[in-house]
Structure 1
Amino acid sequence: MKLRTKINLYTSALIIVLLVLINGSIYFTFNHFILKNELEKTTFQVLNIARGMKQTESSAATKNALRAYVPVNSMIRIVNQDGTTETATTAKNQENLIDLPISYLGKEQHEIVKENGIVYAFVSIPLIWVPTGEVVELQLTENLSSSVHILSILKWVLIIITILAAIPVIFSSRLLGNLITRPVANLIRTMNDIRENDQYKLINLPKPSNDELYQMGKTFNEMILQLEKNYEKQEDFVSNASHELKTPLTIIESYASLLKRRGKEREEIFDESVEAIQSEAIRMKELTQQLLLLAKNDQWKVEVTQVDLKQIVKESVQSFHMAFHRDILLQVEQPIVIQTDLQKLKQLLYILMDNALKYSEGQVEVKISTSEKYGIIEIIDNGIGIPADELSKIFDRFYRVDKARSRKSGGFGLGLPLAKEIANSINAKLDMKSKEGQGTTVQIILPKAF
């Protein structure tokens, strides 16, 4: 069953049930109060008749009094203890009341009774019959056909009102169903178009509002834009990764073919080929490792501890000095304790210092300073620098400022994107300033331990 049909069916059924319950309650409430009021009125009449009969002294006078007291549409009857009728008087056109069953109840009774499909108000009270001094029962039976007729009219009026009210309810529920399901149907059509045509599409949104349907459409459009952006990034990533892997594989294949043809005959070709194959294999290994790190960046496991920033940077500077035999100047204002992941900070320092040494030939400076809430590491080189128009792109994967130098120096365009991911994972901020031909300054801003 479609959602629109469900809304139509359930809404119509719910409102119609509510109408039936409300109108039914109205009818039964009026029925109860009208019949109760008639019974109370009959009881009051019986009491008045009983007071009037106490003033009579003879049987004839009592019977005359009964004829005078008999209400409209009613019958007054005196019933003896043996179940016989002492006397009975009916109003005009109510002679059929005489045929109602006779019984001595022995107690006062007030009730609504139904005989032969006709509703009556029946009241019976004990009374001392003045002419004989015996205890009898004064019974008043009133025909309530007029009141029942009014209630019958009310019932049919309420039924007709319920039926008439159900018609616009059904049509309005259909309109409501269409209104609610229209955005959903539009969403389904758009999703089917995306699936069939393999192209991202946005749905047309109505005037901005706070209702859930508009928010659903807005969220869908935002999700599609994000998916499209991620898909484009994925395509670029796959394309660039394929290109980067294709080059070393081609080199390896070429040298392997050369080895196969002439490697046994000429030793220098053998040495050159083996060295090239090993070099490209190492490059492929490094590229693969960086790709894996970037692919699982959303699964970084961070272990935050308090770290002596001066000690960590000093160890890293010493390691690079020994490995590259380059001058690295370390300047420290004061000891600083920060909160970070030790191993990831070391990896971040490795990437940035490796870049500084790779793209410069002179001395590299490393400065440690502090602010009120942060510890700051600055890595400064006087190398080739980065053009101003390309500075915003350096954290894009596979982007390389100097393609020729990067191939020679072994870069893949993944180092800085990986550094950015690591910095985000340890809640650090990277800030880079550079001038082409003058050098680059990179700042790592880390939160202090308090």
Structure 2
Amino acid sequence: MKLKSKINLFSAALFIGLLLLINCAIYFTFNRMMYDSELERIKVEARQKVKGMHEAETSVPIENLLRAYMPANGMLQIVRSDGTPRAAVTSAGNSDLRKIPVEYKNKELANIFEYDHIPYGFVSMPVIWSSGEVSELQLTENLATTAHNLRTLKIVLIAITIIACIPVLLASSMLSNFIISPISSLIKTMKEIQGSGRYKRIDQPKQSKDELYQMGETFNNMIGQLEQNYVKQEQFVSNASHELKTPLTVIEAYADLLKRRGKETPELFDESIEAIQSESNRMKELIEQLLLLAKHDEQWKVTAEEVHINALIGEAVRSFCAGYKRKIEFDEKADVTVKSDAQKLKQLFYILMDNAHKYSKDTIYVSVERKRGKAVIEIIDRGGGIPTAELPKVFDRFYRVEKSRARASGGFGLGLSLAKELADAIGAEVKLDSVEGVGTTAQILL
């Protein structure tokens, strides 16, 4: 069964069930109230008749007395203590009541009974005559009018239920359409995406705060992310293929040259070996960076600990000076300790230092300070700088600013992308500020 049918069936059944329950409660409540009211009226009437008979007992024969107090629509009788009727009178049309077996109740009694499909109110009250004889006055009244009124009420309630079912069914249909419409649109869009392979979003007619609108917005946002990731993936595969193709072509060319002329020309042999080794190292470095970038955020194993930034950066600066023979000025503007992953922070620092080393020849300036409650590590180079328009793109994989990030520098355009991944993993922030022709300032904020 479809969800729409389930919603229709459930909501309609629920509303109709509630309506039936309310109408039944109304009917049975009125039924009880009306019969109880009639029975109370008959009891009052019976007491009045007993009182009147006591006052007129000695002067009027019992049969005449009963006729004087005969009900308009029923039967009045006197029953002896042995269960035999002493006298009885009935109104016109109620003579059949005489056929009902007579019984001495021996107590005051009031109830409703049905005879020949007609409801009657019955009241029995003890009577003590002046002679000392104990009898009972039994008053029976026809309640056909009350029954007729209740039948009319039943018909009205049934009619109301049937009529009310029409808007209930319409409302349940509208409700199901309102709920199912966005879901149907979502399914349709998914099928179109599946069939065409193109990303498509759901049209949102108007802004709302309900869950259905939020579901549509979430789907559209998810499609946007998928589309963006798909484009990045295509870009990544294309760039990776291009970056790997070049060293493989060089290796293949030199290998072919070695095969043809390597034995006869020692100089060519040395040149080819050096070129093949150089390109192999470039490929190894590229593959290592690609493997690092292939990790998801949750796969970074971060070990948070107290890290003395001054000591960590000072040691890294000394190692860099010794390894690359570069002049680096280190300024400790503040003594800073943070909670972070020391190894990943050092790796992040090395990536930014490596960029400064590759793209500048002058002194590199490194400082550690505290600004607005954050630890700030700053690396400044006096290289060619990055055009302002290119700054937002430098963290994209394989992106290189051709003017200053020439292929000769040996970069793949993966360093800053890896730096961004590392910063996100340890909860840091990387900022770049650059002026073309002046230099670049990189900041790590913790």
The bucket for the TM-score relative to the shorter chain is: over 0.9
Question: Is residue 176 of structure 2 the alignment partner of residue 177 of structure 1?
Answer: yes
- Report the alpha carbon displacement of residue 313 of structure 1 after superposing the two structures with TM: 1.1
Alpha-carbon distance in structure 2 between the residues aligned to 1:11 and 1:338: 59
Other-structure match for 2:205: 206
> Residues 303-355 of structure 1, C-alpha deviation per residue, up to 9 Å, x if partnerless?
22222111111111111111111221212224222222111110011111111
Aligned residue runs from structure 1 range 40-55, under 5 A = 40-55=40-55
Paired residues for 1:245-256 under 5 Å: 245-256=244-255
Instruction: State the alpha-carbon separation in 1 of the partners of residues 437 and 195 from structure 2.
Output: 52
Structure 1: unaligned runs, 5 residues or longer = none
The AA in structure 2 aligned to 1:26 is: I
Aligned equivalents of 1:57, 1:425: Cα separation in 2: 110
Identity of aligned residues (%): 54
- SS of structure 2 residue aligned to 1:86: strand
| Higher deviation after alignment, 247-256 or 337-346 | 247-256
Matched position secondary structure for 1:54 = helix
- Cα separation, partners in 2 of 1:94 and 1:4, compared to 1, 3 Å: same
> Which residue identity lines up with residue 4 of structure 2 in the other structure?
R
Segments of 5+ residues of structure 2 without an aligned counterpart are: none
In the other structure, the counterpart of 2:20 is 20
Separation (CA, whole Å) in 2 of partners of 1:355 and 1:423 = 16
Rate the CA distance shift 1:288–1:22 in 2: closer, same or farther, 3 A.
same
Is 1:155 aligned to residue 154 of structure 2?
yes
Q: What one-letter code is carried by the residue in structure 2 that aligns with 1:390?
A: E
Instruction: Determine the C-alpha separation between the residues in 2 that align with 1:246 and 1:70.
Output: 120
> Which piece of structure 1 moves more, 173-182 or 336-345?
173-182
The answer to whether the Cα contact below 8 Å between 1:12 and 1:173 also exists between their aligned partners in 2 is yes
The answer as to whether partners of 2:113 and 2:122 remain within 8 angstroms in 1 is: yes
Q: Distance in 1 between matches of 2:391 and 2:206?
A: 40
Distance in 2 (alpha carbons) for counterparts of 1:248 and 1:128:
129
Kept after mapping to 1: 8 A contact 2:432/2:441: yes
The aligned residue for residue 62 of structure 2 is 62
Aligned to 1:119: 119
Deviation at 1:46, TM superposition (A): 1.1
Is the contact made by 2:433 and 2:442 (CA closer than 8 Å) also made in structure 1?
yes
Alignment of 1:230-245 (within 5 A): 230-245=229-244
Report the equivalent of 1:363: 363
* Equivalence for 2:165: 166
Question: Whole-Å Cα distance in 2 between the matches of residues 95 and 327 of structure 1?
Answer: 130
Compared with structure 1, are the counterparts of its residues 388 and 176 closer, same or farther at alpha carbon in structure 2 (3 Å cutoff)?
A: closer
Residues 81 and 135 in structure 2, CA contact (< 8 A), matched pair in contact too:
yes
| Residue-pair matches, total | 445
CA–CA distance in 1 between the matches of 2:405 and 2:152? Answer: 100
Equivalent position of 1:304 in the other structure? 304
Secondary structure of the residue aligned to 2:202 is coil
Structure 1 length as normaliser, TM-score? 0.93
Q: Distance in 1 between matches of 2:361 and 2:443?
A: 20
* Counterparts of residues 391-406 of structure 1 (less than 5 Å): 391-402=391-402, 406=406
> How far has the Cα of 1:238 moved from its partner?
1.3
Q: Contact 1:248 / 1:284 at 8 angstroms: preserved in 2?
A: yes
| Alpha-carbon distance in structure 2 between the residues aligned to 1:331 and 1:167 | 82
Deviations 1:383-410 (A, max 9, x none): 2222233222211111111379642222
Whether contact under 8 Å (2:62, 2:87) holds in the other structure is: no
Would the aligned equivalents of 1:52 and 1:65 in 2 still touch at CA under 8 Å? no
Secondary structure of 1:377's match? strand
Aligned letter for 1:27?
A: Y
Deviation digits for residues 404-428 of structure 1 (CA, Å, limit 9, x no counterpart): 9642222100001111221222222
Q: Which whole-Å CA distance do the structure 1 matches of 2:331 and 2:323 have between them?
A: 20
For residues 129 and 59 of structure 2, the distance between their equivalents in structure 1, rounded to whole angstroms, comes to: 9
Secondary structure in 1 matching 2:61: helix
- Tell me the amino acid that sits aligned with residue 93 of structure 1: G
* Structure 2 residue identity aligned to 1:119: P
Moved more, 134-143 or 59-68: 59-68
For the Cα contact (< 8 Å) 2:335–2:369, is it kept in 1?
no
1:41-440, aligned counterparts within 5 Å?
41-58=41-58, 60-130=60-130, 132-299=131-298, 300-402=300-402, 406-440=406-440
More deviation in 266-275 or 81-90? 266-275
Tell me the amino acid that sits aligned with residue 149 of structure 2: I
Return closer, same or farther for 1:150/1:228 CA change in 2, 3 Å cut-off: same
Pair 1:111–1:22, CA change in 2 (3 A): same
Is this contact kept in 2: 1:206–1:214, CA < 8 A?
A: no
Structure 2: distance between partners of 1:171 and 1:441: 67
Q: CA 1:159 to 1:372, structure 2 compared with 1: closer, same or farther past 3 Å?
A: closer
Aligned mates of 1:126, 1:400 — CA distance in 2: 115
Mapped partners of 1:156, 1:110: distance in 2:
29
TM-score w.r.t. the length of structure 2 is: 0.94
Are residues 388 and 175 of structure 1, via their aligned partners in 2, closer, same or farther at CA, if it must alter by over 3 Å? closer
Structure 1 residues 59 and 296: alpha-carbon distance in aligned structure 2, compared to 1, 3 A threshold: farther
Which deviates further from its counterpart, 414-423 or 429-438?
A: 429-438
Separation of aligned partners in 2, 1:93 and 1:169? 47
- Cα RMSD (Å): 2.0
